[in-house]
Chain A
Amino acid sequence: MSKVRVLEVKQSVFAENDRHAEALRSELKQKKLFLLNLMSSPGSGKTTTLSRTIEALRDRLRIGVMEADIDSDVDAQTMAALGVKTIQLHTGGMCHLDADMTAQGLEGLETGDLDLAILENVGNLVCPAEFDTGAVKNAMILSVPEGDDKPLKYPLMFQVSDVVLINKIDLIPYVDFDMDACQKRILERNPRAQIFPLCARTGEGVGPWAAWLEEQVRSWQTSPALVRNIEP
């Protein structure tokens, strides 16, 4: 006869991922490699924004890109055409990347000579917000046609994003989009968020964002190592 007993677990499902993410960040710090996690809805212009960003910075920083998709490699081909090191990650149906998958991707990218690795996360405003990838900073793109109420509908995404790029500002005359209200809503969710309105298609506004990113990379590479308590 088998006997049944109950084991108390009391453990957060996200705890292990959070530990892996912290460990990855410490490793990145040692390697002087800056990892940016870029998130957005599908169709917000993530790949175009990334292309513009790379064009602005590729002579100043050594950049690599990880393209996460459920399937396909169309984005990776676009990046490779820009002449940056690229790797395609397939999540195999999963709607997000976690710290382990990100670490594997970095290994595949061979980051030894890079300053900046950019992770283009799966296009979705819910799941990627829940899972810390180990990135140094989180960026998200909100495009104008999606509406100025997105910070109300997806609060967690805005809470975890250090920087919000408001893309497709050239479409403001054609849609109902209140820039001031949108910025106010973002800052209510995250008072520390940096906001850059831009148009990736024309390149308008890309300069200040690229300058901010370069400054973040430089400061990550030169500031003293962080002392964090990583629980075993």
Chain B
Amino acid sequence: MHELGVVFYVIRDVKAVAEANHVSRITRVTLEIGEVSGVVHELLEDCWKWAIKKEPLMDEAQLEIETIPAVTFCEDCKQEYETVRYAKICPYCGSENTFLVRGDEFLIKEIEVEDPSEDPLEEPEEEP
């Protein structure tokens, strides 16, 4: 539901990274998104395609999404289980005393960038 807002956040953060690294063009952005983060991938991709057109630095950047599987931990029997399959109640002991260990992340993992074509004369010369 808030995919567009999230896309604006990603673009802002990615531009900051690009600026800090003197990058002139971003060609790919890889996100890591938890399985239960509540973000709909298809919507995210649609918002992405729309939003990047306004960003000359990254107007053709590809979006890649990697999913982080959701895992829940049971405080009572100390076992981990798949959140999506069993939800709040531990499948081993039936306890409700459980919490999410991972799976709600929304991370920018990495970006692929192009460095500007450099004039050979400007390359730092190696000392003999």
Which A residues lie at the B interface, using CB under 8 A?
A: 1-14, 16-17, 93-96, 98, 124, 126-127, 130-131, 156, 188
Say yes or no: A7-B110 contact (C-beta < 8 A), given A126-B38, A156-B38: yes
Give the Cβ gap from B38 to chain A, nearest Cβ, in Å.
Answer: 7
Stretch at the interface among B20-28, B55-63, B66-74: B20-28
Interface pairs (7), CB distance under 8 Å: A7-B110, A7-B111, A9-B14, A13-B9, A94-B2, A127-B5, A130-B2
In the complex, the answer to whether B108 meets A11 with C-beta atoms within 8 Å is yes
Residue B96 CB within 8 A of the other chain: yes
Which B residues lie at the A interface, using CB under 8 A?
A: 1-2, 4-6, 8-10, 12-14, 17, 21, 23, 25, 27, 38, 96, 105-117
CA distance A130 to B38 in the complex (A): 10
CA distance A156 to B37 in the complex (A): 10
In the complex, the answer to whether A12 meets B5 with C-beta atoms within 8 Å is no
Q: Hey, which chain B residues are within 8 Å of A188, CB to CB?
A: 96
Say yes or no: A9-B5 contact (C-beta < 8 A), given A4-B114, A16-B13: no
DSSP majority for the A interface? mixed
Say yes or no: A7-B5 contact (C-beta < 8 A), given A12-B105, A13-B107, A14-B106: no
Q: Hey, which chain A residues are within 8 Å of B25, CB to CB?
A: 2
In the complex, the answer to whether A10 meets B116 with C-beta atoms within 8 Å is no
Say yes or no: A8-B109 contact (C-beta < 8 A), given A96-B5, A126-B1, A127-B5: yes
In the complex, the answer to whether A7 meets B21 with C-beta atoms within 8 Å is yes
| Complex A-B, nearest 4 residue pairs according to Cβ-Cβ distance, in ascending order | A127-B2, A2-B114, A9-B108, A126-B1
